[in-house]
Amino acid sequence: MKSFGLVITIIAYFIARKFYQRFPYPFFVPVLVATVIIICVLMLSQYPYEQYMKDVSLITELLGVAIVALGYPLYRHWKLIRNYVIPILFGTFAGTYFGLESGRILAKWLHFEDSVTYSLIVKSVTTPVAIEITEEIGGIRALAAIFVMIAGISGVVLGPFLLKWLKVDNPLEIGISYGCAAHVLGTSKSLEFGEEAAAVSSVSMTLCAVFASFLTPVIISFFS
């Protein structure tokens, strides 16, 4: 059945959404629950991962449309972005740098090889850009995609706890935090805090990708 992967993905996400509506806790975010369900189904059925990826190619292509849709809150709150453009720029630059640097420090602490380090360092950048950067600096594309996914899921799961602990409730701060730390997944999560936070997160996510493109080679060359 060529559409097996697509059907399983849709059903898994539907179940995950219903589960999250019933139990709205950070550890039960749909993307995490759906991922666990899909992994379990693939392992139990021994369905080839390569075939699964072919089955869900339609969803992959629609990711671009989904990202564009995140621009709607940006359009609605453009005045807010314009009024706070300097804090957003500096906040995102700082967030991007510390996101890259934390990956480098973690890799050094765990004694990873260079290729793995180069794949981990871009963990907080949106997947298409992270993969391109990784390829340019000598990392492993597949590993980069995995690290980006882990960073995104970690951001949406742990983010609410950290924001509450740090008593952060400003839409500007929430948006920059999610955009820098958890890319697309974080931007989607920020919608739960309001359209203003989502608009700022969309800008922050985009700027993060731009900043990371030239910061990553600099950090690698400086610390090598």
Q: What per-residue confidence (pLDDT) applies to 37? A: 92
Give phi and psi for 208, each to the nearest 5.
-60, -40
How far apart CA 95 and CA 99 sit, in angstroms, is 6
**What residue ranges of the chain have pLDDT lower than 70?**
1-2, 60-61, 63-74, 223-224
Record the tokens describing residue 113, joined without a space. Answer: 């090889």
How far apart CA 35 and CA 26 sit, in angstroms, is 15
Q: What per-residue confidence (pLDDT) applies to 122? A: 86
Q: Compute CA distances 142 → 118, 163, 165, whole Å.
A: 12, 31, 34
Q: What per-residue confidence (pLDDT) applies to 90? A: 93
Give phi and psi for 125, each to the nearest 5.
-95, 145
Of 42, 44, 68, 43, whose CA–CA distance to 56 is shortest?
A: 42
Q: What per-residue confidence (pLDDT) applies to 1? A: 57
Q: What per-residue confidence (pLDDT) applies to 97? A: 92
Q: What is the pTM of this model?
A: 0.76
Q: What per-residue confidence (pLDDT) applies to 63? A: 64
Of 116, 112, 124, whose CA–CA distance to 151 is shortest?
A: 124
